[in-house]
């Protein structure tokens, strides 16, 4: 019997009360007048000061309030928490927030806020963001692509945020370049982004179906019906090729193993039923070719999905509580059923297991063969197949995103 040790962190920038017991460790950063609430307030204050004496001056309490205001006013479009890296958040107004967590004592060490892009973007029109080592790519609801060049004072991505020089990702006068995207001119499309393995190709895709109503034009150009654009980033930004999928494009992402392959999820309408297909497109000699298609045995509507870190395994769930793993290498499918309606799915970085969050805040874990992994709390000997997060909080809350480090 194999087992592993892990910790679950729930990060909230609002004032949330937790049910304190031996299984839940809750540390709050708040004003002094709020610290008097709850039992054992003096012991808690002394414990927090002793535990966080080394890092308590690394951030200000108003930074926490500022991040909370960002969540209430803008959309968080980018989340990243790689191993040995800070938690990075990019908001639609251009603010970049980096949070350094101390895993050893469950505290927040540093909060860095980069607001050099404030006033240079259109918060209500920003759709998607992709960050690489040298650039930030941003798409809008309009057919435009913004390229923001990062501060090159330090080569490492982490030292740009938490280095000794406290450098910013973006300088005070960032270089911003705007590119007009080809395709439909509709302002209601959500144009998404994906970078390939070598960061030299950029995929821009959007979702629309053949049933969508388009304004009448005397001539319909083929470029107005495409929904995938591939740009070359070698010498500037140049269009490489375009493609149009047969059905409704749900998701498109570059492969992490083949730099010229694009994996897509497509919903195809056949007679009276709809099917979900996994397709592979390959970019060869400035042309996009459709080389593979596989139909997933699903009958309900797709709710959530996630690709593995190597993008060779896909886990999906539908409205019928079906949970499915499709292996691109083995061309095999594994199916099971959940006892709750799923909301969010996230693969482990090692692709050994996946965690599922339900609509009623249930948590369940499965391995790569869809065997249920039981939970055992640190101070409890009882095994749980499902953890109910509502039992640890007196008020209802909803997790918005699941990240593995």
Residue predicted with more confidence, 170 or 138: 138
Instruction: Please state the domain count of the chain.
Output: 1
pLDDT in tens, 53-76: 544 445 567 888 888 899 889 999
Domain range for 311: 300-404
Mean pLDDT of 153-182: 65
User: Is 160 a domain residue?
Assistant: no
User: Is 337 a domain residue?
Assistant: yes
Report pLDDT for 156.
47
pLDDT exceeds 50 at position 209: yes
User: Is 278 a domain residue?
Assistant: no
User: Is 341 a domain residue?
Assistant: yes
| pLDDT band with cut points at 50, 70 and 90 for residue 29 | low
Least confident of 218-222, 273-277, 377-381: 218-222
pLDDT in tens, 84-113: 788 889 999 999 998 887 776 667 778 888
Residues of the chain with pLDDT > 90: what percent?
A: 34
pLDDT in tens, 314-365: 999 999 999 999 999 899 999 999 999 999 999 988 888 999 999 988 999 9
- Across 36-45, 110-119, 135-144, 205-214, the highest mean pLDDT is recorded for 135-144
CA 10 to chain centre: 16
pLDDT in tens, 301-328: 899 999 998 888 999 999 999 999 999 9
Q: Which of 325, 404, 329 is nearest to 370 (CA)?
A: 325
Q: Which of 49, 68, 61, 55 is nearest to 11 (CA)?
A: 68
Q: What is the CATH number of the domain that holds 391?
A: 2.120.10.30
Report residue 364 as tokens.
């369940």
User: Is 334 a domain residue?
Assistant: yes
Report pLDDT for 55.
47
- DSSP of 97-130, one letter per residue? EEEEEETTTTEEEEEEEE-TTTTSS-TTTEEEEE
User: Is 279 a domain residue?
Assistant: no
| pLDDT band with cut points at 50, 70 and 90 for residue 115 | confident
User: Is-contact 370 323, C-beta < 8 A?
Assistant: yes
Residues of the chain with pLDDT > 70: what percent?
A: 77
Angle at the Cα of 166 from the Cα atoms of 161 and 168, rounded to 5 degrees: 55
- DSSP of 269-317, one letter per residue? EETTEEEEEEEEEEEETTEEEEEEEEEE---S-EEEEEE-TTSSEEEEE
User: Is-contact 12 388, C-beta < 8 A?
Assistant: no
pLDDT in tens, 252-306: 999 988 899 999 999 887 776 778 899 999 999 889 999 999 999 888 889 999 9
Average pLDDT of every residue of the chain: 81
Say if residue 310 is exposed, middle or buried (CB neighbours under 10 Å; 0-12, 13-18, 19+). Answer: middle
Q: Where do we find the tokens 């309900």? A: 300
User: Is 349 a domain residue?
Assistant: yes
Q: Which of 173, 60, 147, 184 is nearest to 112 (CA)?
A: 60
User: Is 386 a domain residue?
Assistant: yes
């Amino acid at each position: 019997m194999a087992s592993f040790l892990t910790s679950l962190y729930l990060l909230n920038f609002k004032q949330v009360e937790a049910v304190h017991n031996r299984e839940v460790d809750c540390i709050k950063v708040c004003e002094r007048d709020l610290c008097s609430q709850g039992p054992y307030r003096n012991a808690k204050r002394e414990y927090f000061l002793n535990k966080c004496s080394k890092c308590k001056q690394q951030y200000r309490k108003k930074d926490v309030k500022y991040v909370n205001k960002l969540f209430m006013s803008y959309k968080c479009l980018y989340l990243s928490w790689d191993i040995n890296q800070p938690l990075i958040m990019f908001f639609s107004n251009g603010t970049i927030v980096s949070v350094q967590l101390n895993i050893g004592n469950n505290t927040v060490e540093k909060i860095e806020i980069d607001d050099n892009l404030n006033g240079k973007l259109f918060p209500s029109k920003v759709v998607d963001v992709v960050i690489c080592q040298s650039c930030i790519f941003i798409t809008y609801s309009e057919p435009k692509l913004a390229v923001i060049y990062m501060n090159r004072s330090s080569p490492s991505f982490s030292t740009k945020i938490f280095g000794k020089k406290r450098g910013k990702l973006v300088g005070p006068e960032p270089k911003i370049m705007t590119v007009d995207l080809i395709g439909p001119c509709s302002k209601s499309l959500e144009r998404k982004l994906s970078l390939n393995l070598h960061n030299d190709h950029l995929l821009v895709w959007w979702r629309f179906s053949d049933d969508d109503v388009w304004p009448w034009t005397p001539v319909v150009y083929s470029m107005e019906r495409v929904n995938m654009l591939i740009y070359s980033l070698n010498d500037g930004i140049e269009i490489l090729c375009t493609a149009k999928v047969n059905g409704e494009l749900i998701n498109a992402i570059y492969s992490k193993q083949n730099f010229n392959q694009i994996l897509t999820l497509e919903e195809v309408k056949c007679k009276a039923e709809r099917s979900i297909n996994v397709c592979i497109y390959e970019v060869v000699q400035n042309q996009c070719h459709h080389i593979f298609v596989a139909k997933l045995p699903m009958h309900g509507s797709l709710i959530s999905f996630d690709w593995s870190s190597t993008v060779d395994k896909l886990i999906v769930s539908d409205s019928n509580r079906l949970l499915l793993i499709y292996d691109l290498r083995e061309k095999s499918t594994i199916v099971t059923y959940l006892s709750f309606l799923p909301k969010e799915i996230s693969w482990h970085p090692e692709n050994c297991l996946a965690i599922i969050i339900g609509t009623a805040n249930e948590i369940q874990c499965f391995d790569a063969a869809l065997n249920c992994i039981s939970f055992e709390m640190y101070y409890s000997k009882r095994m749980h197949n499902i953890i109910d997060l509502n039992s640890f909080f007196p008020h209802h809350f909803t997790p918005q995103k699941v990240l593995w480090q």
